[in-house]
């Protein structure tokens, strides 16, 4: 992987490194363990993960009282689901495939109370301690805009300029697939796209985020200007650990 360095001036708010991981199993045990191990944030995945929305509150309960921020990736642009996961107590929301500033503004509106948004108000939900805490006294949720297509990369500067968007988050798998599916010679280079997103976010005083599958890539992405970095997933970590144990066992057997 190439290792360009972002020279754009950084805002203090967007500069601190936040290391997280993807939680796809829908397991409160996995969420609790990730928090106990010290992750700054975790992503509860409702788009591709095994869990359902009904399982989100129990995962959030496993994180309660600790510093680990729970971000929920909803399945789509449904404002109702965005509002519900925030009512459940999520401290951030990621909405897949934000391809324009218009879509980014819709995400912000769905996650924001009136008069600046259209999120519905309910006093007795978990986010407000079931009515024990006043609406609006909680910290605003972080809104993460995934950059997963060439169109989103082209609009990165405009998306970064939307008030209320906190993080431009590169989704490598979707972006690579979108670029690969374009007519030969018309697709921009993947690394050039990643760099453009990082620079656009930092220029707007926003954080840049990305998912890395290889822990060795964390340092390179950090030097590139990314500060919200997810490493692997619960499924990937289990898979790799299981395979390593099986391979070592078979090697030990052959060595007998």
- pLDDT tens, per residue, the chain with 256 residues: 443 334 444 444 558 999 999 999 999 999 999 999 999 999 999 999 999 999 999 999 999 989 999 999 999 999 999 999 999 999 999 999 999 999 999 999 999 999 999 999 999 999 999 999 999 888 899 999 999 999 999 999 999 999 999 999 999 999 999 999 877 666 789 999 999 999 999 999 999 999 999 999 999 999 999 999 999 999 999 999 999 999 999 999 887 6
Instruction: Give the count of domains, the chain.
Output: 1
Q: How high is the pLDDT of residue 163?
A: 97
* Alpha-carbon torsion (214, 219, 225, 229), positive or negative: positive
Which residue, chain included where needed, has tokens 């949720």? 141
Q: Which domain holds residue 47?
A: 12-144+208-254
Residue 106 lies in a domain: yes
Q: How far apart are CA 51 and CA 74, in angstroms?
A: 11
CATH number for the domain spanning 45: value is 3.20.20.60
What is the number of other CB atoms lying within 10 angstroms of the CB of residue 168? 31
**Distance of alpha carbon 108 from alpha carbon 23, whole angstroms:** 24
In a domain, 35, yes or no: yes
Residue 125 inside a domain? The answer is yes
Quick one: pLDDT at residue 8?
41
Q: For residue 7, is it within any domain? A: no
Tell the burial category of 110 from Cβ atoms under 10 Å away from its Cβ (0-12, 13-18, 19+): buried
Q: Which residues are catalytic?
A: 48
Q: For residue 211, what are its two tokens?
A: 């998912």
> CA–CA separation, 110 vs 222, rounded Å?
30
Length of the chain: 256
For the chain, the first-to-last Cα distance in angstroms comes to 40
What is the reported pLDDT for 14? 57
In a domain, 108, yes or no: yes
- Residue 186 belongs to some domain of the structure: no
pLDDT of the residue at 1: 41
pLDDT score for 182 = 77
Backbone CA torsion sign across 117, 126, 62, 234:
negative
168 located within any domain? no
Q: What pLDDT is recorded for position 27? A: 98
Look up residue 35 and give its two tokens: 């928090």
Residue 153 domain flag: no
pLDDT of residue 181: 82
């Amino acid at each position: 992987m190439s290792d360009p360095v972002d020279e754009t001036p950084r805002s203090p708010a967007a500069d601190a490194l936040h290391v997280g991981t993807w939680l796809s199993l829908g397991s409160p045990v996995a969420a609790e363990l990730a928090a106990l191990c010290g992750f700054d944030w975790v992503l509860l995945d409702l788009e591709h993960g095994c869990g359902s929305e009904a399982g989100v509150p129990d995962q959030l309960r496993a994180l309660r009282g600790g510093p680990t921020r729970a971000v929920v990736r909803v399945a789509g642009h449904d404002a109702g689901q965005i509002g519900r996961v925030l009512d459940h107590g999520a401290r951030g929301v990621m909405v897949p495939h934000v391809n324009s500033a218009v879509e980014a503004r819709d995400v912000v509106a769905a996650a924001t109370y009136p008069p600046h948004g259209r999120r519905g108000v309910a006093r007795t939900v978990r986010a407000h301690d079931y009515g024990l805490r006043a609406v609006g006294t909680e910290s605003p949720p972080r809104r993460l805009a995934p950059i997963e297509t060439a169109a989103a990369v082209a609009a990165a500067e405009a998306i970064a300029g939307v008030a209320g968007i906190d993080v431009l988050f590169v989704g490598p798998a979707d972006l690579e697939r979108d670029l690969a599916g374009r007519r030969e010679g018309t697709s921009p280079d993947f690394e050039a796209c990643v760099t453009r997103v990082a620079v656009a976010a930092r220029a707007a005083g926003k954080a840049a985020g990305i998912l890395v599958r290889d822990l060795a890539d964390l340092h390179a992405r950090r030097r590139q200007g990314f500060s919200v970095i997810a490493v692997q997933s619960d499924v990937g970590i289990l898979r790799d650990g299981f395979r390593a144990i099986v391979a070592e066992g078979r090697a030990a057997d052959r060595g007998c």
